[in-house]
Chain A
Amino acid sequence: GIQVEQSPPDLILQEGANSTLRCNFSDSVNNLQWFHQNPWGQLINLFYIPSGTKQNGRLSATTVATERYSLLYISSSQTTDSGVYFCAAPFMNRDDKIIFGKGTRLHILP
């Protein structure tokens, strides 16, 4: 079946460290999104990135659709970056249903 796999599942870092989160998807997709779920449960849009690279401040994302993966980079981590990061994609062969990975839980220590 369709799979969206994220790694690592958990990550604990010291404030100021850099990190790379990965998202692999099993089938062709029209685009890919990254979300941050903060400790209050809100889902915040980070990137809508069908292909290529986008940057927003300390965060950037790269999607290589032909190789079916996306990467989220967080530089100079801050405690406010803590939470769960999800990737999600609509699968073209599945009626564009948007499927989520299980997330990477990031904990930034002060």
Chain B
Amino acid sequence: DAEITQSPRHKITETGRQVTLACHQTWNHNNMFWYRQDLGHGLRLIHYSYGVQDTNKGEVSDGYSVSRSNTEDLPLTLESAASSQTSVYFCASSDYRGTELFFGEGSRLTVL
């Protein structure tokens, strides 16, 4: 079955370290998204991609970067982790713009 997987599922890191969260989908979807979820804010869009070599900023992109070198993967990098980036991160994908969105299981990141 096609799926979307995130790794690691849980990570603890220190302030200032670089962190990369992986997202891999086997749906062969064109579009991929990264969201963060925090109490009181719901899910907020960090970055998104509508195809290979395409990346775009979302609502809360400061301190994050993504790259899309193939269809299956959209890694999310925190260049210098901050305590404010402690959150649960969800990756999602969809076939075409405006079509149904499917989520991964989430990655819980704690920055100490």
Contact = CB atoms under 8 A, between A and B. Distances in A.
Tell me whether chain A's interface is mostly helix, strand or loop, or mixed: strand
B56 A45 contact: no
Contacts, number: 50
A88 B101 contact: yes
B98 A31 contact: yes
A8 to B, nearest CB: 15
Interface stretch (A12-20, A55-63, A90-98): A90-98
Most chain B C-beta atoms within 10 Å of own C-beta, residue among A33, A42, A97, A101: A97
B97 A96 contact: yes
Interface residues of B, number: 24
A98 B33 contact: yes
A28 to B, nearest CB: 11
A103 B42 contact: yes
A100 B39 CA distance: 14
Contacts of B19: none
A86 interface: yes
Most chain A C-beta atoms within 10 Å of own C-beta, residue among B56, B97, B98, B99: B98
Contact of B98 (A41, A42, A90, A100): A90
13 contacts: A30-B98, A31-B100, A33-B100, A41-B105, A43-B103, A45-B102, A48-B99, A96-B97, A97-B58, A99-B45, A100-B35, A101-B42, A102-B40
Interface of A: 30-31, 33, 35, 41-43, 45, 48, 86, 88, 90, 92, 95-103
Interface of B: 33, 35, 40-45, 48, 56, 58-59, 88, 90, 94, 97-103, 105-106
